[in-house]
A = this chain, B = another copy of it.
Amino acid sequence: MKLTILGCYSATPRTFNNPTSQLLEVKGHLFLVDCGEGTQVALRKSKVKFARVKHIFISHLHGDHFYGLIGLISTFRLLGREADLHIYGPKGIKEVTLLQLKLANSYTNYNLIFHELETNESTLLFNDETIEVYTIPLNHRVYTNGFLFKEKTGERKLNMDAVLQANIHQSYYQKIKSGADVTNEDGKIIRNAQVTLEAPTPKSYAFCSDTMYKPDIVPIIQNVTALYHESTFLDQHRHLCEKTKHSTAKQAATIAKQANAGQLILGHFSTRYTSMEFFKEEAQEVFDKTELADDFKVFEF
């Protein structure tokens, strides 16, 4: 999985800080998560072929996660897009998007398919041969979901030495990878476990922003490979979390620890802080494998 942070700062876009947006590349998909104002310019700067984005997941309808969506949709139109575009987000996202397109008299030439969300249960949004995407219900000032991207268990790997020794015809290789037993050239049944290795462990990525500390997401994201969790504040400002429904770095780390995450990526920093290193230090007291997001930083896991 390759995660490109396009923006990870809270509240307002600034000269050198983009609001939230990120791209997840996995198994040939290019998923866009959130789309603050200026995301289309950040996409151009990142040099990614963003016409390949077919699915956009919007956590909530605050401006710093959402106000760049209409511009991106319009740009896709101007660039002659033909592929369907799926948009997953809170109820209301369809009405406001279509109203903007109507006022501009600029309906898209491609299909715009909305998947509006209202439930507070973790829900399967997307499912193909290799990937599942679920919502992660969060607790913020407006209806908000995080998103969990899970690889499915892949094919078993051939143990080539064992396969050759077992005298299996090549035409059976794909069948073996799927986990089946086969009959070899001598008419003998070969057990699958004898000639294959475990499939690689499926990876997963959880995006959790914006939210206050919500430990009941832990079962949903248990053993996640990488967790992006918002940390708007440092612990010294934790009194602001209740009113604003945001988290501290320490709280994000506590979630990562409870979930047994492979790594934690912190983001959504309040621009009140001059150095983000304090976030890392604070989180690492609870959960060592912590990294800081930054605009245009790339994580591979």
Contact with B along A121-160 (1 / 0, CB 8 A): 0000000000000000000011000000000000000000
Q: In the bound complex, how far is the Cα of B90 from the Cα of A104, in angstroms?
A: 11
Q: Which of A102-117 contact B (CB under 8 A)?
A: 103-106
Asked whether B11 lies within 8 Å of A78 as measured between CB atoms, the reply is yes
Of chain B, the residue at the smallest CB distance from A102 is: B92
CA distance A233 to B182 in the complex (A): 68
Most chain B beta-carbon neighbours within 10 Å: one of A67, A96, A142: A67
Interface assignment of A41: CB less than 8 Å from any CB of chain B: yes
Residues of B within 8 A of A13 (CB): 38, 40-41, 71
**Taking the complex as formed, is A167 at the interface, i.e. its CB lies under 8 A from any CB of chain B?**
no
Interface hits, A9-23 → B, CB 8 Å = 11-15
Closest to A74 in B: B63
> How far apart are the CA atoms of A75 and B63 in the complex, in Å?
9
Q: How many copies does the complex hold?
A: 2
Q: Do A70 and B71 have beta carbons less than 8 Å apart?
A: no
Partner of A106 from B62, B96, B105, B106 at Cβ < 8 Å:
B62
A91 and chain B: residue at smallest CB distance: B103
**CB interface residues, A 38-88, toward B, < 8 Å:** 38, 40-41, 44-45, 61-63, 66-68, 70-71, 74-75, 78-79
- A62: which of B38, B90, B93, B104 is its contact (CB, 8 Å)? B104
Number of residues on chain A facing chain B (CB within 8 A) = 36
A184 within 8 A of B: no
A45-B15, A96-B99 as given contacts; A67 in contact with B71, CB under 8 Å: yes
Residues on A facing B (Cβ under 8 Å): 11-15, 37-38, 40-41, 44-45, 61-63, 66-68, 70-71, 74-75, 78-79, 90, 92-93, 95-96, 99-100, 103-106, 141-142
Given contacts A15-B41, A62-B106, A90-B103, 20 further A-B contacts (CB under 8 A): A12-B40, A12-B75, A12-B78, A12-B79, A13-B40, A13-B41, A15-B45, A37-B38, A61-B103, A63-B70, A63-B74, A67-B71, A67-B74, A67-B100, A93-B103, A95-B99, A96-B96, A96-B99, A103-B142, A105-B142
